[in-house]
Each structure stands twice: as structure tokens, then as C-alpha cells.
Structure 1
């Protein structure tokens, strides 16, 4: 009997990755590789002030999150964090880096660092804002 059941997110994602990896191998004859995570936190003394996370899979690195406390913005820390993620991507042999941001966040910051918009979606994640998808070839 077929039935829908709740399953812990981590376990469900692991099972889905197996299914998708098998499909990729069957259809494209390219074996999947493991996801490689990257995470750096920034501290002022013992106070957490921000950080960056990314994941590398196959030929691409995706920057998941980048944020700094407001008082520390404009001092070059965001650029330094971004550079560390880009170095990670290069060391992991990525061909490109992707990131997404909202219109009220850091679009111009990423463009200043060589990222280009390849897509946008209006009224997401809420009405009145636009989500931008950016890429940089490395």
C-alpha cells in the first residue's frame, strides 16, 4: 500500500540525493560526487558578528548565506568573507559560483565583486520585493 509519511529532513534529503544521483548516472553517465561544505564565522573578540556558508557540488559552488551585523558593514569584512568563499571554490575546482539575494539586501555588493544577474523573480519571498540570482565564473 502506498502512503505518505513524515520523515526527518536530513534522512529524506539523503534518500533523495541517492535517487537523484542514480538518475544522473543513468541518464548522463556522470557519477555524482559528494557535496563539500564551507563555513567561516567572523568574531570581534568573543562576539559573533557574521559569517558565510557555501556548498560545492560537481562544478559549482553556491554561497548559501552571507551576513554581518549592521555595525560592521562597510568595513571590508563582507568582501573578505566573500573572497574566502571564492578561494574555497577555486581550491575545489568549481567553474562558477552562484548566490541569490533580495533587492533590499546586497545585489550591488555582489555586482561590485564581479557577479552578474542571470535571473530574477518578482514578489518573492514576499510581495513588493525581487529575488535576484547571480553567477560568477571563476
Structure 2
């Protein structure tokens, strides 16, 4: 009897990754590799100012989150966080880095460091804004 069941996210993701890895090996004869996570936080006198998180898998790194509190913006910290994520990607052997941002966030910031838009979604995640997907070859 076929049935649908709720399954803890971590358990379901592990099973899905296993299935996808098996399929990749069958179709492309390329074994999958484990994800490498990167997480770096910025503090000033014990106060959290922001940080960056990224995930590297195969030949691509995706910067998941990069943000700073308002008072830390414009001081070069964002640049430093981005460069540290890029260094992580390069050290782990990534060929491409991706990131997404909203039109009211940091699109021009990423573009000044060589990221280019490869896709966009209008009215996402809410009406009146655009989500941009950017990439950079390293």
C-alpha cells in the first residue's frame, strides 16, 4: 500500500541526497561528494554585527546569506565577508559561486565584485520586488 508520511527534514534530506547521488553516479559516472559548509560571524566587542554562510557542493558554492546590521554597513565588512566566502570556495575547488538578492538589497554590491545576473523573478517573494540570481566564475 502506497502512503505519504511526514518525515523529519534532516532524515528526508539525507534519503533524497542518497537517491540523487545514486542517480548521478548511474547517469554521469561521477560520484557525489559531501557538502562543505562555511559560516563566519562578525563581532565588535561581543556584539553581533552580521555574517555570511555558504555551502560548497561539487564544483559550485552558493552563498546562502550575507548581512550586516545597519551601523556596520559602508565600513568594508561586507566586502571582507564576501572575500572570505570566495576564498573558502576557491580553497574547496569550486569553479562558480552563486548568490541571490532582492532589488532593494545588494545587487549592485555583488556586481562590483564581478557577479553577473543570470536570472530574475519579478514579484518574489512579494509583489513589487524582484529577486535576482547572480553568479561569478572563480
Shorter-chain TM band: over 0.9
Q: Which runs of 5+ in 2 are unaligned?
A: none
TM norm structure 1: 0.99
What CA deviation, in whole Å up to 9, does each residue of 1:16-50 have, x standing for no partner? 00001001111111100000000000001111110
Aligned length: 138
- Are 2:106 and 1:113 equivalent residues in the alignment? no
CA–CA separation in structure 2 for the residues paired with 1:25 and 1:126: 38
- Structure 1 moving runs of 4+ over 6 Å: none
Report the equivalent of 2:46. 46
Report the equivalent of 1:25. 25
CA–CA separation in structure 2 for the residues paired with 1:15 and 1:129: 35
SS at match of 1:109: helix
Q: Output the aligned Cα RMSD.
A: 0.5
Q: Which runs of 5+ in 1 are unaligned?
A: none
CA–CA separation in structure 1 for the residues paired with 2:105 and 2:87: 23
CA–CA separation in structure 1 for the residues paired with 2:122 and 2:28: 33
Q: CA deviation at 1:132?
A: 0.3
What CA deviation, in whole Å up to 9, does each residue of 1:88-111 have, x standing for no partner? 011001101000001011000000
Report the equivalent of 2:90. 90
TM norm structure 2: 0.99
